[in-house]
């Protein structure tokens, strides 16, 4: 995977969960079979197992607000209860399908919002498309490699950013620390931190775009980002 990968895919790859082990896969398979038989408790067990990861790694980074992420998670739960019968078991487990459902909810939420957001709906749509073109075997074999390559891409880009911007992204997006906690560490209010993070993400996009342009033979590469909030 090259650093020309779109930013959402890079950050998603960095934040993606470790491969599901055999015991967890077997548990998921059993719960899915029970859910298909009409067992609502089995659906609840699946959502309880993966809800926190969806909130932390899929919804909150893309929606940028704890309230919006909580609302989105509730919508994910409702859609899963409604559509669990459409899920076809594959050896990668239940989480990849659940993640796509969450991404689609995030797309709807981003389109409905009128203020500035960290992610564009079209970016998340491309991420959904990429998830659906991978085969189960591809998904399992590529996850570890993608995580390592994505981490290297992002860390290289962060090294070229203003240190304040790089720290904001590392703490909030990569380490997934709470918004209020990161704001305190940076010495700003949560509202000001939102502005800092938005500008930091813009700078990261620009830096990754410059890297791609350089590899395509474009001569002009922007200098290190130094603006600050």
Q: What is the pLDDT of residue 191?
A: 86
227 by DSSP, 3-state: which? coil
Task: Give me the tens of pLDDT residue by residue for the chain, a chain 229 residues long.
Answer: 445 445 565 565 555 434 435 778 889 999 999 999 999 999 999 999 999 888 888 888 788 778 888 999 999 999 999 999 999 998 778 888 999 999 999 888 888 765 444 445 555 566 555 655 554 444 454 455 545 656 677 778 889 999 999 999 888 877 777 888 889 999 999 889 989 988 998 888 888 776 555 544 444 434 444 445 5
The rounded distance, in Å, linking the Cα atoms of 165 and 173 is: 12
Q: Are 161 and 227 in contact (CB under 8 A)?
A: no
Q: What is the pLDDT of residue 115?
A: 45
Among 83, 78, 125, 90, which Cα is nearest to 104's? 125
Q: What is the pLDDT of residue 118?
A: 47
171 by DSSP, 3-state: which? helix
Among 108, 121, 126, which Cα is nearest to 71's? 108
65 by DSSP, 3-state: which? coil
Q: What is the pLDDT of residue 196?
A: 92
Helices 66-83, 40-53: crossing angle, 10 deg rounding: 150
Q: What is the pLDDT of residue 17?
A: 39
Q: What is the pLDDT of residue 145?
A: 54
Q: What is the pLDDT of residue 125?
A: 60
144-161 in b/e form (b: 16+ CB < 10 A) is eebbebbeebbeebbebb
Q: Would you call 89 exposed, middle or buried from its count of C-beta atoms within 10 A (0-12, 13-18, 19+)? A: middle
Q: What is the pLDDT of residue 187?
A: 94
The rounded distance, in Å, linking the Cα atoms of 169 and 164 is: 9
């Amino acid at each position: 995977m090259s650093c020309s990968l779109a930013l959402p895919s890079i950050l998603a790859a960095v934040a993606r969960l470790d491969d599901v082990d055999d015991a967890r896969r077997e548990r998921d398979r059993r719960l899915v079979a029970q859910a298909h038989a009409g067992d609502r408790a089995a659906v609840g067990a699946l959502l309880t197992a993966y809800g926190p990861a969806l909130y932390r790694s899929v919804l909150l980074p893309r929606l940028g607000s704890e309230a919006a992420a909580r609302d989105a998670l509730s919508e994910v739960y409702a859609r899963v209860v409604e559509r669990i019968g459409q899920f076809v078991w594959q050896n990668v487990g239940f989480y990849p399908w659940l993640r796509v459902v969450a991404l689609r909810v995030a797309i709807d939420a981003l389109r409905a919002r009128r203020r500035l957001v960290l992610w564009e709906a079209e970016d998340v749509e491309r991420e959904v498309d990429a998830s659906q073109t991978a085969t189960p075997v591809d998904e399992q074999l590529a996850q570890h490699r993608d995580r390592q390559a994505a981490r290297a891409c992002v860390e290289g880009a962060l090294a070229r950013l203003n240190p304040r911007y790089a720290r904001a992204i590392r703490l909030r997006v990569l380490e997934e620390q709470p918004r209020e906690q990161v704001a305190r560490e940076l010495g700003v209010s949560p509202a000001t931190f939102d502005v800092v993070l938005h500008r930091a993400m813009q700078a990261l996009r620009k830096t990754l775009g410059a890297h791609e342009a350089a590899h395509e033979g474009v001569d002009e590469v922007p200098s290190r980002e130094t603006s600050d909030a």
